[in-house]
Amino acid sequence: MGLKEEIDAIEEEIANTPYNKSTEAHIGRLKSKLAEKKEKLENQSSAGGGTGYSVEKHGDATVALVGFPSVGKSSLLNSLTNAESETGSYEFTTLDVNPGMLKHRGANIQMLDVPGLIEGAASGRGDGQQVLAVVRNADLIVFVLSVFEIDQYDRLQEELYDINIRVDREPPRVTVRPKIKDGIKITSSTEQELDEGTISDVLRDQGYVNADLNLQENVTIDRLIDGLMDNREYIPSITCVNKVDLIDPEYKETVDEQLRERDLDPEEVTFISAEVERGLDALKDRIWENLGLIRVYMNKPGRGIDWDEPLVIEQGSTVGEAIEKLGGEMEERFRFARVTGPSATHDEQQVGTDHVLEDEDVLKLILRR
Ligand SMILES: Nc1nc2c(ncn2[C@@H]2O[C@H](COP(=O)(O)OP(=O)(O)OP(=O)(O)O)[C@@H](O)[C@H]2O)c(=O)[nH]1
Ligand SMILES: [Mg+2]
């Protein structure tokens, strides 16, 4: 039996085993065996060559457009950015990843037009897996749905899950520290629904013989395995519904209902038309908001405040981190900074490197000569 068949067999057994207290340990073992086999398969296919698709990261953040063929990803990329990605009324017009740069609120946001999701992409059929792999490097996923095919959302989620992308999830609060003796010790800050035997079995299956495991959340088997693996990516997402120019206003209620069935709040979904350029400003704003970035305007000696090209950094960044991003010999020469804006108690507040900046602060660095 090949690896692929073994995986299918385990998946089938999991699907056919009812989940309850008496089967929990068994399912735990199956799931960790599955994780192990999938990892092996993944290593095999990446070792097996193939060009893969890699897109160098540029700009302040990277956003991946993910959707089925013909939903309008390339059209959207073209209307949001300077890119000219080919569009077409047939499926799979785009076959490799096209990047474009979206300039919004002073930030340069790299947008990737990922080719239409191919049936079974994640299980390594065709090139889909390699194509989808570029999504792993994104800071935000934008799901693109056609207004008539909201149900595709489910498949998109599954395909990403299968290539170890966890959408809209925080990393599990699981830490494991291998030791040289004394077996497996489990500590937990919350009550666990899995029993210790199951947890230890999963750990042993993942190769831990002696280890301290600390759990800060009530884990499921899947979350526990995710927490033990370091090849999972946790990426936030937003969803947009394209081609709204094609529907009658009354149909919107049906679409909303289909979104709600998938736990998507219609208020948080952006309705757009890439073709007639509707809803694009709202989408840009949502992209910005969900990237968790802030703008810091630099007040440069002799040149005044640069309002056009802010320094774009992660929310929660300190003055020290801003200096790091600026690079140069600024770090050694730093004496103190003056901040005006939302994070300051008063204009030109004098602060050190620990000061946490906020969106639209103005920052002046006082350096040694
Ligand atoms: N009416 C309408 N048509 C659209 C809209 N967006 C895209 N289209 C059309 O839908 C077709 C597919 O658009 P593409 O942008 O090529 O779709 P894609 O998602 O990049 O498709 P693949 O590259 O095959 O994965 C084209 O004929 C577009 O003109 C829209 O908002 N409204
Ligand atoms: Mg395309």
How far does residue 144's CA lie from ligand 2's centre (Å)?
11
User: Cα separation of 172 and 112, whole Å?
Assistant: 28
3-state DSSP assignment of residue 85: coil
Residue tagged 């969106």 (tokens): 359
Q: Which ligand is nearest to the CA of 245?
A: 1
How far does residue 73's CA lie from ligand 2's centre (Å)?
5
Confidence at 35, pLDDT banded by 50, 70, 90: confident
Nearest atom in ligand 1 to 89's CA: 27
CATH number of 293-367: 3.10.20.30
Residues of the chain with CATH 3.10.20.30: 293-367
For domain 61-169+233-291, give the CATH superfamily. Answer: P-loop containing nucleotide triphosphate hydrolases (3.40.50.300)
Q: What percent of the chain has pLDDT over 70?
A: 90
User: Cα separation of 201 and 27, whole Å?
Assistant: 11
What per-residue confidence (pLDDT) applies to 339?
97
Asked whether the beta carbons of 271 and 240 are under 8 A apart, the reply is yes
Element spanning 320, H or E: helix 319-326
Task: Give tens-digit pLDDT for 55-91.
Answer: 777 899 999 999 998 999 999 999 999 777 777 766 6
Residues of the chain with CATH 3.40.50.300: 61-169+233-291
Residues with CB under 6 A from ligand 1: 67, 69-75, 87-89, 91-94, 115-116, 242-243, 245-246, 273-275
How far does residue 276's CA lie from ligand 1's centre (Å)?
12
Nearest Cα residue to atom 21 of ligand 1? 70
Whole-model pTM: value is 0.85
Other Cβ atoms within 10 Å of 337 Cβ, number: 24
Nearest Cα residue to atom 6 of ligand 1? 72
Distance between alpha carbon 115 and the CA centroid of its chain, in Å?
Answer: 17
